[in-house]
């Protein structure tokens, strides 16, 4: 019943949302699907800045995950300087875990959604793969460098003019594990719109 409830919630949110890459910002997507995590991010890009919250939830197995985004952006340009609301949702699937033969974790993700403001709207359909490797350090510390290329169909409306393009974005960054419940993520996006971001991750314990 719990699995069905999570899937139902995901299906309700997905048509209204824009994936973990809902705005022009790093996705902060780890290279392993999460059982549950909350991510609080601050992003700056060449069109503005944003505060972003992400909720990642496993869908009852070790390979699938649903991600929801909620954020507020403040644009620098005249077309979007009054701010915009970012709403997102996506599904992710663990393609592979690192082995001695192939030392990479890989997560596939896809979604859709919208960023809406008074003078600026963006609708995106992104698809991509996050690739990285986890390196254990002393104690409970660990670091995971990653890259996250993705292809997206973007429809942008600003100042009464709309345009649809296919774009390629490329995240590069790392996730630093402080302990089993806390992480810091740094990432930069290169592509249609460059961006940098930092986030704090909390993985709650004992909720299941």
Q: What is the pLDDT of residues 104-147, one digit of tens each?
A: 999 999 998 788 887 778 899 999 999 999 999 999 999 999 99
What does the pLDDT read at residue 16? Answer: 31
Domain span at 169: 2-202
Residue 143 lies in a domain: yes
Residue 207 lies in a domain: no
Rounded mean pLDDT, 181-193: 91
Residue 61 lies in a domain: yes
- Place 82 in a pLDDT band, splitting at 50, 70 and 90: low
Residue 208 lies in a domain: no
Pairing label, strands 120-132, 135-136: unpaired
What pTM was estimated for this model as a whole?
0.81
Residue 97 lies in a domain: yes
Q: What's the domain count of the chain? A: 1
CA 170: distance to chain centroid? 12
- Place 23 in a pLDDT band, splitting at 50, 70 and 90: low
Residue 146 lies in a domain: yes
Average pLDDT over the chain reads: 83
Residue 154 lies in a domain: yes
Q: Domain holding 96: CATH number? A: 2.40.128
């Amino acid at each position: 019943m719990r699995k069905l409830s999570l899937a139902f919630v995901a299906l309700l949110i997905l048509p209204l949302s824009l994936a973990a890459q809902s705005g022009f910002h790093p996705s902060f997507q780890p290279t392993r699907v999460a059982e549950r995590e909350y991510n609080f991010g601050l992003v700056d890009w060449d069109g503005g800045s944003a505060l972003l919250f992400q909720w990642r939830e496993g869908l009852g197995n070790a390979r699938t995950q649903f991600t929801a985004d909620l954020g507020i952006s403040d644009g620098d340009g005249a077309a979007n300087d009054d701010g915009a609301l970012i709403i997102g949702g996506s599904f992710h699937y663990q393609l592979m875990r690192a082995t001695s033969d192939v030392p990479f974790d890989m997560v596939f993700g896809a979604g859709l959604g919208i960023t809406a403001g008074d003078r600026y709207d963006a609708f995106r359909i992104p698809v991509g793969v996050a690739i990285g490797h986890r390196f254990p350090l002393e104690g409970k510390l660990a670091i995971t460098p990653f890259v996250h290329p993705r292809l997206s169909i973007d429809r942008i409306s600003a100042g009464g003019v709309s345009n649809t393009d296919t774009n390629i974005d490329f995240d590069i960054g790392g996730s630093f594990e402080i302990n089993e419940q806390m992480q810091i993520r740094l990432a930069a996006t290169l592509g249609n719109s460059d961006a940098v971001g930092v986030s704090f991750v909390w993985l709650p314990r004992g909720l299941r």
